């Protein structure tokens, strides 16, 4: 069964290789290796030929690779991985080798060129990532599970969050609840930004103490069987100034508008534009300093993007975030984020958490 599951992906890869006019494809990106073979190790090298898959690992991962993906040829290398790679390519008379240009370091590329002087190395992009963007039924079920785990952890943490608690303590409590609920880990460093630190869009938790009047941004995600979740909620204790309540109401309105625009066939840039224009009507777009969203899957940031810098036609099976934010330096920040599955008629949310600002 697993052989057939991954075999179908390899068949699709072979067609994409043919379309790119390459004889072989090389990747060292752990998410791509996992997608194509099921190998969960954090380091290795995958060489795909038209009718062969070779997983090249060092001695730390040999047994793991053989157990996890017995349908793949596992090769243990010693010294430089390029020696094993060169042997395979030369013996198969390969001329055109594609590699993921955004995944390989300059040093690794130079090592490969030195070991493969007779082979043309072709820089590629989106060969595997393009396949990964649309999730299949198994992947979507894993992502639903990741979302449920994240919701359970947040609900357990938020009822214990109090003024006087350090941001680090709140993050540690949330991460403990993630593990307790079944997560294998976090999908990124948990963000807890209170008061002025909330205006840092990626301000990870610090030793700052959360004060009674602080607005607190909590951005978190779990990793479950390789798949990620991503969610942000903004909360505050007690009564807040009118400008804070108004800004949050406008932000929630904008986020709901963005979600309402998400469906298959829609331009990803147009969703970002709609939200940005909505915030602009309230003179708040200047405080929205990042793209509206990104794809989620085996990585926390992957295709497609919802931003002004890219434009993709959304497809059923894409999984994306919708996360507008408002950041006032020196004062406060706020962000509301949900991850959703794109469907033919709209979207399916993977998050079911309250969006109320004030905790009671």
Number of structural domains the chain divides into: 2
pLDDT for the residue numbered 360: 64
Residues 163 and 17 placed together within one structural domain of the fold = no
Residues 11 and 48 placed together within one structural domain of the fold = yes
Average pLDDT for residues 223-251, to the nearest whole number?
96
CA dihedral 9, 147, 314, 4 (to 10 degrees): 10
Element (H, E) at 54: strand 53-57
Residues 188 and 323 placed together within one structural domain of the fold = yes
Strand bridging mode 96-100 / 53-57: unpaired
Residues 95 and 193 placed together within one structural domain of the fold = no
Cα–Cα distance for residue pair 183/193, rounded to 1 Å: 23
Query: In this predicted model, what pLDDT tens digit does every residue of 57-94 receive, in sequence order?
Result: 999 999 999 999 999 999 998 888 888 888 888 888 99
Cis peptide before 250 (omega within 30 of 0): no
Burial (CB count within 10 angstroms: exposed 0-12, middle 13-18, buried 19+), residue 357:
buried
Query: Cβ(78)–Cβ(4) under 8 Å?
Result: no
Give which of 253, 333, 250, 259 is closest to 292, Cα–Cα. Answer: 259
Residues 209 and 346 placed together within one structural domain of the fold = yes
Residues 145 and 120 placed together within one structural domain of the fold = no
Query: In this predicted model, what pLDDT tens digit does every residue of 20-44 receive, in sequence order?
Result: 999 999 999 999 999 999 999 999 9
pLDDT for the residue numbered 37: 96
Listed residues 76, 98, 132: the one ending a domain: 132
What distance lies between CA 66 and its chain's CA centroid?
27
Listed residues 72, 106, 132: the one ending a domain: 132
Given a cut of 80, whether residue 124 has pLDDT beyond it is: yes
Cα–Cα distance for residue pair 143/133, rounded to 1 Å: 13
Given a cut of 90, whether residue 275 has pLDDT beyond it is: yes
Residues 24 and 58 placed together within one structural domain of the fold = yes
Between 265 and 90, the more confident residue is 265
Residues 258 and 197 placed together within one structural domain of the fold = yes
Tally of CB atoms within 10 A around 137: 8
Residues 124 and 158 placed together within one structural domain of the fold = no
What average pLDDT is seen over the chain?
95
pLDDT band at 1 (very low <50, low <70, confident <90, very high): low
Q: How many alpha carbons fall within 13 Å on the CB side of residue 294?
A: 14
Q: Which residue range forms the structural domain that includes residue 27?
A: 2-132
Q: What is the CATH number of the domain that holds 85?
A: 3.40.350.10
Listed residues 132, 160, 194: the one ending a domain: 132
Give which of 61, 51, 58 is closest to 24, Cα–Cα. Answer: 51
Average pLDDT for residues 313-342, to the nearest whole number?
98
Q: What is the CATH number of the domain that holds 233?
A: 3.90.230.10
Given a cut of 90, whether residue 111 has pLDDT beyond it is: no
Residues 109 and 146 placed together within one structural domain of the fold = no
What distance lies between CA 214 and its chain's CA centroid?
29
pLDDT band at 125 (very low <50, low <70, confident <90, very high): confident
Q: Report H helices in the chain.
A: 2-19, 30-37, 62-68, 81-91, 106-115, 129-132, 137-158, 167-181, 242-261, 268-280
Tally of CB atoms within 10 A around 129: 23
Residues 59 and 155 placed together within one structural domain of the fold = no
Residues 146 and 100 placed together within one structural domain of the fold = no
Query: In this predicted model, what pLDDT tens digit does every residue of 305-315 receive, in sequence order?
Result: 999 999 999 99
Strand bridging mode 73-76 / 120-124: unpaired
């Amino acid at each position: 069964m697993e052989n057939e599951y991954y075999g179908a992906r390899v068949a699709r890869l072979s067609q994409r290789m043919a379309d790119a006019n390459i004889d072989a494809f090389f990747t060292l990106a752990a998410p791509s290796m996992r997608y194509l073979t099921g190998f969960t190790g954090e380091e290795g090298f995958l060489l795909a030929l038209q009718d062969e898959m070779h997983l090249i690992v060092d001695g730390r991962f040999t047994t793991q690779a053989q157990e996890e993906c017995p349908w793949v040829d596992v090769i243990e290398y010693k010294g430089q991985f390029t020696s094993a790679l060169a042997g395979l390519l030369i013996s198969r008379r390969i001329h055109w080798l594609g590699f993921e240009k955004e995944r390989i370091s300059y040093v690794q590329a130079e090592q490969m060129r030195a070991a493969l002087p007779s082979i043309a190395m072709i820089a590629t992009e989106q060969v595997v990532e393009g396949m990964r963007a649309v999730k299949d039924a198994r992947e979507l079920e894993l992502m639903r599970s990741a979302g449920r785990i994240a919701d359970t952890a947040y609900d357990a943490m938020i009822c214990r969050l109090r003024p006087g608690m350090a941001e680090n303590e709140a993050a540690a409590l949330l991460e403990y609840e993630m593990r307790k609920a079944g997560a294998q880990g976090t999908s990124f460093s948990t963000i807890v930004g209170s008061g002025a630190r909330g205006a840092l869009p990626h301000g990870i938790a610090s030793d700052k103490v959360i004060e009674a009047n602080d607005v607190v941004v909590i951005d978190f995600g779990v990793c479950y069987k390789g798949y990620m979740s991503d969610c942000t909620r903004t909360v505050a204790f007690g009564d807040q100034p009118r400008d804070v309540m108004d800004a949050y109401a406008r932000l929630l309105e904008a986020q709901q508008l963005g979600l309402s625009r998400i469906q298959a066939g829609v331009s990803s840039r147009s969703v970002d534009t709609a939200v940005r224009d909505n915030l602009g009507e309230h003179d708040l777009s200047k405080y929205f300093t990042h793209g509206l969203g990104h794809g989620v899957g085996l990585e926390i940031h992957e295709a497609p993007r919802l931003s002004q810098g890219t434009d993709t036609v959304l497809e059923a099976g894409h999984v994306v975030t919708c996360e507008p934010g408002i950041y006032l330096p020196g004062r406060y920040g706020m962000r509301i984020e949900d991850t959703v599955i794109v469907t033919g008629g709209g979207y399916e949310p993977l998050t079911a958490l309250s969006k109320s600002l004030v905790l009671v």
